[in-house]
Amino acid sequence: MLRRVLTAVFAGSLLAACSVAGNQAPPGERVVTLVTHDSFAVKPELLDAFKAETGITIKPLASGDAGALTNKLVLTKGSPIGDVAFGVDSTFASRALKEGVFAEYASPEAGKGAQRYRLDPPDRLHAVDVGDVCVNIDVAALKDKGEPKSYADLTDPKYRDLLVVQDPATSSPGLAFLLGTIAEFGESGWQDYWTKLRANGVKVVSGWEEAYTQDFSGSSGKGPRPVVVSYASSPSAEIGDDGNPRTKALLDTCYRQVEYAGVLNGAKNADDARKVVDFLLSEKFQADVPGQMYVYPSREGVALPEAWTKAAPLPDQARTLPAGQVDANREQWVAQWRSLVQG
């Protein structure tokens, strides 16, 4: 993405391993193609256990970030490239639903938590994970200045030239941050807010990896800017030798991203595809989600890694916008943002 997540560098190798396993399925074996974003990751032993239990081989097919994935699914809806899709997020879901990409299916696993993020009554999409996008700060670097707390604080002159964000036209977290500012300031106020951010020296880069690993001072890149747009879960990967997180997510600046899975309309293996959706919502897969993809499971009662409890609690009040409103205005908002910020 969505993407999208802090584990992009690890996901590629895991996805490649899963894809190889899927491509080596012998003739006649039951194979379900799972179309995903590039940051999908799962322990191979979970796929092996699922195959042993059901006889189904899951073959992941990476298809870009959340936006690229959605576009591909729409363009190929007449002849779907897979059986199940995972990774269409809440900023793009309404488009996929409007285009009829997904078939109706009510998973028996959905009632364990995924229904909290339900989008449409026919149950064409099921929430698999939550990945809130928030402003992150380098705690030590801001010790003397004091920490910002809100969107509005970022326009304070004392934080001039300290913030780096992603382009909403090319980055899922960049788009989520833009949507968060629209939710916060409204359609009549967000443009004025971004004008102030520009005057205060905000830096815009193309994607999350560049912003977080090169420009942000609190990450491995040790860049010059101590304020960055990232994820609520990001501080869990920045634990110091003393056991404390070196960074912090500002929980009053979060926008909720939910990633969904669904059976594709016209899937060749629809019955087995439904079993794969059930698997993605199962307790075993959901328990693997934080460690593999650095997002929060949608299922209730799944324990988070110990580091997350201290460093990366799920925000209680993340901002959202209705999916239909986002779909109707996304291109216009991004165009307006470009005019304001990039000239």
Residue bearing the bigger pLDDT, 17 or 152: 152
pLDDT at 147 over 60: yes
37 backbone dihedrals φ, ψ, rounded to 5°: -80, 170
Amino acid at 220: S
Residue bearing the bigger pLDDT, 3 or 232: 232
- Domains defined for the chain, CATH in brackets: 8-130+257-307 (3.40.190.10), 133-255+314-341 (3.40.190.10)
Q: Alpha-carbon distance 308 to 220, whole Å? A: 19
Q: Alpha-carbon distance 116 to 130, whole Å? A: 11
Model pLDDT, residue 26:
57
Q: Alpha-carbon distance 247 to 25, whole Å? A: 44
> In this structure, what DSSP letter does residue 202 have?
-
Q: How confident is the model at residue 1 (pLDDT cuts 50, 70, 90)?
A: very low
Q: Give the residue from 222, 13, 238, 259 showing the smallest Cα distance to 129.
A: 259
pTM beyond cutoff 0.85: no
Model pLDDT, residue 27:
63
The whole-number average pLDDT for the span 170-188 is 94
DSSP-based three-state secondary structure for 15: helix
